[in-house]
Amino acid sequence: MTTPCLTLVSHRLCPYVQRAAIVLLEKSVPFQRVTIDLDDRPDWFPAISPLGKVPLLRVARPDGSEVVLFESAVICEYLDETQGDARLHPRDPLERARHRGWMEFGSAILADLWHFETASDAETYEAQRDAIAGKFASLESALRDGPFFAGESFSLVDAVFAPVFRYFDVFDTLVDTGVFASVPKVRAWREALSRRQSVRAAVDADYPRHLLAFLARHDSHVLKLAA
């Protein structure tokens, strides 16, 4: 069977894009990457993105037709099911369902992170910091011996949480948020993911600069604490 040509439509900071990129890199799948500016979207983008979001995975079939997949979880599971021999999702249905639940939990943390990084006042910052710390405390109890979510094997849950932790690689250069103070297993997991080649290669070298610029545009309290 001919392998379809894959193009990942991306944004430099999007954590959901990073999930798909990590899976592609874990699977050693050749792919093209097209990075767009969501504030200045190309004319072709609305026609292929029903939700107006990234990532998109453009799958070119051998007959010249194309299918466009949207939503990161859908993209990641398609890639896991069709690319390479090693699976990143558990084969056991119950364990696979448990993993999907924790992937959704990772998305909930990303929602808190949006409010955290765009908070311009101390009250909102503290409330979101506490919400994130509380979710990491819940996550702590779900982790096993590591180094990854399910132990020795890298999974789709790891691909979801690596972009979450990457935010804090930048935040830590500005301020001690304290969200990892009481979660040693989460801290160890974060460190293991930061060393993973697929995680490191999922963003370009300018990622910290772009995130800092984003914080400045939103008058982020994080930057004020660092001043």
State how far the Cα of 131 lies from the Cα of 136, in Å rounded to an integer: 9
Dihedral (C-alpha) 169, 182, 215, 204: value to the nearest 10 degrees? 20
Q: Decide the pairing of beta strands 66-70 and 56-60.
A: antiparallel
C-alpha distance from residue 134 to each of 21, 122, 186 (Å)? 28, 18, 12
Token digits of residue 38: 């969501």
CA distances from 43 to 35, 38, 148, 188 (A): 14, 11, 40, 44
Residue 15 phi, psi (nearest 5): -70, -25
Active site residue 5: no
Q: Are strands 5-10 and 56-60 parallel, antiparallel or unpaired?
A: antiparallel
Among the options 6, 8, 9, 14, which is catalytic?
14
Catalytic site positions? 14
